[in-house]
Structures are given as C-alpha cells and as structure tokens.
Amino acid sequence: MEKILNYIDGAFEAPCSDQYLDNYDPSIGKVYSLIPDSDERDVNKAVDAATRAFPAWSTLPAQERSNILQKLADLIDRDLDKLALAESVDNGKPVSLARRLDIPRASANIRFFATAILHTSTETHITDAEAINYTTHAPIGVAGCISPWNLPLYLFSWKIAPALAAGCTVVGKPSELTPMTAFLFSKLCVEAGLPKGVLNIVHGLGAKAGQAIAEHPGVAAISFTGGTVTGKKIAATAAPMFKKLSLELGGKNPNIIFADCDFENAVATSIQSSFANQGEICLCGSRIFVERPLYEKFVEAFVKKTKALVLGDPLLNETNLGALVSAAHKQKVMSYIQTAKQEGGKILTGGNAVNPTGRCAEGYFIEPTIITGLNEHCRTNQEEIFGPVVTIMPFDTEAEAIALANSTPYGLSATLWTENLKRAHRVSAAVKSGILWVNCWLFRDLRTPFGGMKQSGVGREGGWHALKFFLEVKNICIKL
C-alpha cells in the first residue's frame, strides 16, 4: 500500500514515530494509502529546515522566486488529470469537479501570487520639508499553513502561494483526511527546483502535528482554514505568543431570493451553491430565504432540479454529487438531518444515506436534502452542517430578509438575487458577511479580499491582503 511521506528540507521522510494512519477512499469506504502520524519531532525538524532556508529565500530577487513558483504552476497544469483523479479518490468529490475547479484554481493561485510580487510598490510620506518616511514590507519569517479537507490542494495553495511569494518559508500541514495531492505537490516542488527547506510539508493529525506548528516559537505566523472550534484552539495557543493569525472558519451562509429575481438563473445557481462538492464548501448557501410571492414556485422548481442531480461514483463524468469525506462526517450530517426532523422540519427530498450499487456500495453517500418548516433559531439553521443539506424559509419584507440573514453567529458569505439595483446595494450593506455575491455565486477575482466576520474568522486572504499578512511592515523616517 502506498505510503505518503513528509517533505522536510527537500527530502522525503518517514515520520519520527514510524507510525502511519489509514487514508480512506470515501467513495468505496476502504483504506487505500497510509499517512505519516507525525508529531512535534517532525515539526521541529521542519521548522529548523525552514529557518535555515529563510535568509536565502527571503532575499532572492522577486523575479527568481516568481520563476520557480510559475514553474510549479506549470507542473500542476501538466499533471491536471493525475492530480484531479487523486483529489477525487482522496476526498470523494466528482473527478469532473476536481478537473474543472480544484486543480486549475491551485495553479491559478500560485501564478497569481508569483506575478503579483513583480508589481509591488511602497508608500512614502514627506513630512513638510522636515522629513521623509518610507515604508518597507519584509517577509515575516517561517509561516505555518494549516488547511482543511474540502478543497485540499486548492486551499493549501491559497495559503502557501502568498507565503512563498512574499519570501517566507513554510511549514504546511494538509488535512489528515486528504493528504494525497499535497504529497504529489511536494514531488513537483523538487522538480520545479524549489530550494530545500523553503516549503516543508508535515502530515498527520491536527491535535498532534497541527498543534505542534501552532505552538512552535519559531513559527511567526499561522494561516488556518477549517472549523470554528479548531480556530478557537489555534488562537488560544498562538495569540498569547503574539503570532500573526489569519483564521478562515465556518459559515452558515444565507441565499436571499427576492421575487423580482432572474428566476431561472437563481434556481440553477442555487443548485450549485447548495450542493456543489456535496455541500462541503464553506461558501455554500445552506439557508435559502425566498420572498413569499415566489416561495411556492421556487420550492417546486428547486426540488425538481435537485431530484435530477446524479449521486454516485465520483469517477463517472455524469456524477454531480460524490461521497462525503469520511464515515464520521457522514454520521455527523445524518445526525443533523435527524435533528431537523426532531425540530419539526419537513424533508421535501433526500434525507437518506445511500449505498450505490457496484464499486461504491460501501461509500459515504447522502442524498441532496431540502428541508422546510423550520424557524431561524433552531440548531439546523444555526450550526454548520457542511453537507448536502439546505433549508428553505419564506420572508415578507426586505427588513425581515436582512434579519434572517444576520441571525447566526457566522458571517462568511451571502448571496442575493434581485433585479433591483438599489435594493442590491441596501441589502449588501446591511448583511454582516465578508463576501457578498449579487446574482451569482463563487465568482472569484483573486485580487479581492476573502474572509469572514463574527465567528467566520479573523483577517482576510486574497490579493494584497494575503501577501501583506506574510509581510512585516516597517516605517523608516529620515530627518532632512
């Protein structure tokens, strides 16, 4: 069985413990590879390597850093099919989605930051005729990048690309549920000529390897994407050490549909925003609010389209929904469907675990599920389910829609459907979320800020926000 290895100081290594964890293919429910069960000894080695590599990498001319990173992006493109297949097998997502979204976005992220550093500028402030101030931005040091399982290579690249481009060296930890594409990526780093120690990848459990990264005094900044509970733990560890922190956490995003919307577009896109990647995207709109005059019509069309979605083998091109990432996660999502029923919810379609016939009979599949009849305060509408489950609720006024949208502790993203421009501006201003999409969903311009309010996180990624996170700002004042 294939053994994944840590990538430390440019070499591939077994974990110090010599222990491995099982890695499951969730579409068949079987172990197919082994993951290093790394601990603080491996993290110490990785931080040492990153510390040694920092002086040379951080002072390498931007053009040379850019060339190496662009080579890496080219290699990802070259290996698109191989990486997409690996992502699908590791995560359970449809291979067509990985080929269309995950892998191309990973190379796009790297290319974006590799070229962004060629176009930077700094501020200068002239204080009357007395002094001149100029501001420098220097890489902060060794960065810890901890990423989740839902968009494995995509979100890993979203963190390491700005860190490496900024001149930091990195200790990265992909999720223990989906380590494969980061492992394949580490091989591409060698091929691209990334100097040893610049990027180190330690595989293993969050509470062990991840926690050791958060605790290590040699790590100056932590960029994390994952659950809110984990984010709190990392903040509790890293904040008293005054580490710089960027936390991209969970969401319970509203999808607000006004009666004057472009109906066909709203329905079709809501299918995507509800069920893409089995609903395992932090930006999915899991609470759908529909203005009452449109409510019945929307529900009917939305249920019909949902029933037409193809659930099953992620390796087949016609599949729309694959497997959930793990048996434990499937259990968690099913328990929320149970909770919804206990809370008085009505299941309009779905609600069941599925065992497809053939190859995937033991996989972790759940039908796309639509629930109505719940109020905004119940657990189903307050807690992040992170699966193919949405609720639909009617509303009567714009003020009510805003109140419903803002009724959770989260504030990551929101979607709004209306043809009324003034209303679009008003509602966008009033909804408390870091990202607002009007008449679209997941439309991303990599230059724009990305991140959440309230319990959805601290800080922003994307564009200059991401680069600046990995840079330390210094002002130099010279008296004239």
Report, in Å, the least distance between residue 374 CB and ligand TXE: 19
- Nearest residue by C-beta to ligand TXE? 206
- Give the interface with ligand TXE as residue ranges (CB under 6 A): 146-150, 173, 175-176, 206-207, 210-211, 214, 225-227, 230, 233-234, 248-250, 282, 384, 386
Nearer to ligand TXE, 25 or 313 (CB): 25
Walk across the sheet containing 457-458 and list its strands: 11-13, 6-8, 199-201, 169-173, 142-146, 221-225, 244-248, 457-458
Nearer to ligand TXE, 35 or 83 (CB): 35
Report, in Å, the least distance between residue 221 CB and ligand TXE: 14
Indicate which residue of 176, 248, 376, 461 is catalytic: 248
Q: State how far the alpha carbon of 72 is from the alpha carbons of 79, 155, 191, in Å.
A: 11, 16, 8
Nearer to ligand TXE, 146 or 266 (CB): 146
Nearer to ligand TXE, 63 or 335 (CB): 335
H or E element: which one contains 4?
none
Report, in Å, the least distance between residue 10 CB and ligand TXE: 22
3-state secondary structure of 209: helix
Report, in Å, the least distance between residue 148 CB and ligand TXE: 3
Q: How many CB atoms lie within 10 A of CB 388?
A: 28
Report, in Å, the least distance between residue 134 CB and ligand TXE: 37
Q: How far apart are CA 244 and CA 458, in angstroms?
A: 11
Is 248 an active-site residue?
A: yes
Q: What does 291-354 look like in DSSP terms, one character per residue?
A: EHHHHHHHHHHHHHHHHT--BS-TTSTT-SB---S-HHHHHHHHHHHHHHHHTT-EEEE--SEE
Nearer to ligand TXE, 148 or 197 (CB): 148
294: left (phi over 0), alpha (psi -120 to 50) or beta: alpha
Q: How far apart are CA 353 and CA 402, in angstroms?
A: 34
Q: Which residues are catalytic?
A: 248
